[in-house]
Amino acid sequence: MSVLRIHPEKCTGCLRCELACSYMQTGDFQPAKSVIRVSPFEGHTSYAPYTCTQCAEGWCMTACPVGAITINAVGAKDVLDDRCVGCKLCTIACPYGTMFYDPATRKAFKCNLCGGAPACAEACPTAAITYEDVTTEDWLGDFARERTERVLTGVQ
Amino acid sequence: MAARHLIIGGGTAGMNAIRTIREEESERSAITLVSAENPYSRMVLPYYLDRSIAESHVFTATGKVLADWGVTTHLGKRATTLDTKANVCTLEDGTTVAYDDCLIATGSSAVRAPVPGADGPGVHSFWTLDQARGVIAQIQPGSHVVMVGAGFIAFTILNSILALGAKLTIVEVAPRILPRMIDDIGAQLVEAWLKKHGVAIRTGAKLTRIDDLKRRRRLKMAAGGDLVADVVIMATGIRTNLDWLKGAGVTIKQGIVVDDHLRSSVPNVYAAGDVAEGRDLISQANAVHAIEPTAQEHGRVVGANMAGKDIRYRGSLIINIVEVCHLDVASFGAWDDAQAEAASGVKADRPAYRKLLWRGDRLTGAIILGPSSDIWTTNDVGMLKGLVQSGVSLGRWKAHLKKNPFDVKPAFIATKTTSALLPVTILGRPSKAPGETPVAV
């Protein structure tokens, strides 16, 4: 299956992915409702987007007590709105912190790869997010590890 | 002859076991389900209580679905004896079911405070679907509901009671609320938050009896004045359903003692969920974890092993989350470990609290409180679970988190927790979606 591949060194922190994601997912340009989230590293000297890995276990899916999380046609774990009751079990079961909850709708939501045409990848002006048929990986770990000196030593 | 699997209990553990047997088996087996109730999810009963879902939504498998899965059912009947020498289970109506292997997943029942009047009219438990129906029928807008007990179960229905327009008073015999889910500081914050949202709370309050006043109930308290309620809900704990196993020859301590394949002391008898005393992921000691996620993982591991796979279970992690009046309250792992190194932080401008606990440089427990509208609360809930579950070495990030307990995300990413988590699956393969359970042909 294709997954979102993150190339953190290319990210400029422009947040277009968050805008595009929230628009695709909710119909509003509301980054607070984006399921891809850009994080700053090293005191805002660099940035990288972070989102669901579509992990093999699918902790969110197996945790759901009413079968409201399924696998969609492109292989992404996806929340069925009419089944989700908003119990939040998926938000504590997901060990990556990539389940979201909307207090307005009382539903969980997450990255569903936009059904095969991810808006974040399309919107990214530097191709820091690509949609590729590769095995999902820890795209940010090494990047972040190399950019921790200021945070950990307190040097600004 | 095909293997004959007997599943006793149609809750989360039992239903996950059935689905996993069908997913894993190489040759179609015979599965029999014995369950006192039709299979449904207790987790979603609060949403039925506030009428945000229909009753039909709570069921995890209908008769048709069970038939599609090729399951022979004895629903509405309790198992009364298990003869582990003859491999036969007897039900309350005298029916006998022979098996090659069996799963005990009989769950827990609600218990009531041992006071006169606790079983009287207008006094309810909220644990089973039947009990939920009883409560739904009684609560009207403006009703005064008194909840006896301030534990997790009580808190799961708090929002629903308020949503129905009822006035709520919580009485708790312990000096504080949520004694088995969060620490004292967290409990104080939640209590203050709830009082601000109009919930009356009396801690250290001992109920002595409940009197029937025709349509209302009087709760006699040892001190501080009596209460008059339209509806009384007893959320005073649960007890595992193990009495029926006396003489079965299965070793029972706090629960049925199980090995790393979830087998009891009788090799062809498994136990899962609330009744099982299995390995705790953090301490690696045996413990009873009467929570939904443990029942789910236990059930799947048992199902795979019953189907002939060799699945070792790494242990279950205590995880709890409840939302009350738009405040998320969650805890993980060994959050009450007095020997652990701990750090905590409270935000002055909002109801947000974190407590992190370490053994060495591994996070072994956490408590998190925060507004449910705050994305960082939800995301940090998951990442804290990931850090506790994976046990990654935090190295220099430990000191950083001790000073900045809210700065979870950079620590999670830079310690390559994702790398540690990605290869992990419960069954050694990608999970299947709920609709992918093979049906009978």
pLDDT digits (tens, 9 = 90+) for A67-117: 999 999 999 999 999 999 999 999 999 999 999 999 889 999 999 999 999
In eight-state DSSP terms, residue B439 is P
Q: With bands split at pLDDT 50, 70 and 90, how would you rate the model's confidence at B1?
A: low
Q: Is residue B429 part of a domain?
A: no
How far from B267 is each of B21, B102, B280, B303, CA to CA, in Å?
A: 18, 10, 21, 15
Q: Do B269 and B363 reside in the same domain of the chain? A: no
pLDDT digits (tens, 9 = 90+) for B304-347: 999 999 999 999 999 999 999 999 999 999 999 999 999 999 99
Q: Do B353 and B250 reside in the same domain of the chain? A: no
Q: Is residue B402 part of a domain?
A: yes
Domain boundary among B202, B220, B238: B238
Q: Do B30 and B59 reside in the same domain of the chain? A: yes
Q: Which of A58, A66, A92 sits opposite B382 (nearest CB)?
A: A92
Considering chain B, what is the average pLDDT of its residues? 96
B292 contacts chain A (CB < 8 A): yes
Return d(Cα B379, Cα B15) in angstroms, integer: 29
Question: Would you say residue A156 has pLDDT above 60?
Answer: no
pLDDT digits (tens, 9 = 90+) for B207-254: 999 999 988 999 999 999 999 999 999 999 999 999 999 999 999 999
- Taking alpha carbons only, the member of B5, B94, B85, B107 closest to residue B249 is B85
The backbone torsions φ and ψ at residue A100, rounded to the nearest 5 degrees and listed phi first, read -125, 160
Chain A environment of B61 (Cβ under 8 Å)? none
Chain A environment of B57 (Cβ under 8 Å)? 66, 83, 85
Task: Name residue B216's beta-bridge partners.
Answer: B213
Q: Do B405 and B342 reside in the same domain of the chain? A: yes
Return d(Cα B50, Cα B348) in angstroms, integer: 33
User: Which helix (DSSP H) or strand (DSSP E) does residue B278 occupy?
Assistant: strand B276-279
Domain boundary among B297, B316, B335: B316
Q: Do B232 and B131 reside in the same domain of the chain? A: yes
Chain A environment of B424 (Cβ under 8 Å)? 57
Question: Would you say residue B25 has pLDDT above 60?
Answer: yes
Residues B7 and B14: beta-carbon distance below 8 Å: yes
- Taking alpha carbons only, the member of B39, B104, B44, B42 closest to residue B65 is B39
Question: Would you say residue B385 has pLDDT above 70?
Answer: yes
Return d(Cα B321, Cα B328) in angstroms, integer: 7
Return d(Cα B242, Cα B254) in angstroms, integer: 10
Looking at the structure, give the CATH architecture of the domain made up of residues A55-110: 2-Layer Sandwich (3.30)
ipTM: 0.96
State the CATH number of the domain containing residue B128.
3.50.50.60
State the CATH number of the domain containing residue B407.
3.30.390.30
Return d(Cα B292, Cα A89) in angstroms, integer: 9
Residue B29's pLDDT is: 96
| Residue-range domain boundaries for chain A | 1-51+116-156, 55-110
CB within 8 Å of B192: residues ≥ 6 apart: none
Angle between the N-to-C axes of helices B12-24 and B292-306, in degrees from 0 to 180, rounded to the nearest 10: 30
Residues A46 and A40: beta-carbon distance below 8 Å: yes
Q: Do B260 and B230 reside in the same domain of the chain? A: no
Return d(Cα B103, Cα B86) in angstroms, integer: 16
Residue of B nearest to A108 (CA): B378
Domain boundary among B238, B258, B279: B238
Q: Do B277 and B343 reside in the same domain of the chain? A: no
DSSP characters over chain A: --EEEE-GGG-----HHHHHHHHHHHSS--GGG-SSEEEEETTTTEEEEE-----SS-HHHHH-TT--EEE-TTS-EEE-TTT-----HHHHH-TTS--EEETTTTEEE---GGGGS-HHHHH-TT-SEEEESS----SSHHHHHTT-HHHHH---
Residue among B49, B300, B320, B375 with most chain A CBs within 10 A, to mutate: B375
Q: Do B54 and B79 reside in the same domain of the chain? A: yes
Q: Is residue B432 part of a domain?
A: no
Residues A113 and A100: beta-carbon distance below 8 Å: no
Q: Do B228 and B142 reside in the same domain of the chain? A: yes
Q: Do B250 and B214 reside in the same domain of the chain? A: no
Return d(Cα B24, Cα A58) in angstroms, integer: 17
N-terminal to C-terminal alpha carbon distance within chain A: 42
Return d(Cα A78, Cα B71) in angstroms, integer: 28
Q: Report the Cα A14 to chain-centroid distance in Å.
A: 16
Residue B220 is part of which domain span?
Answer: 123-238
CATH topology for A1-51+116-156 is Alpha-Beta Plaits (3.30.70)
Residue B376's pLDDT is: 80
Return d(Cα A68, Cα A110) in angstroms, integer: 12
Across B411-432, average pLDDT: 97
Domain count, chain B: 3
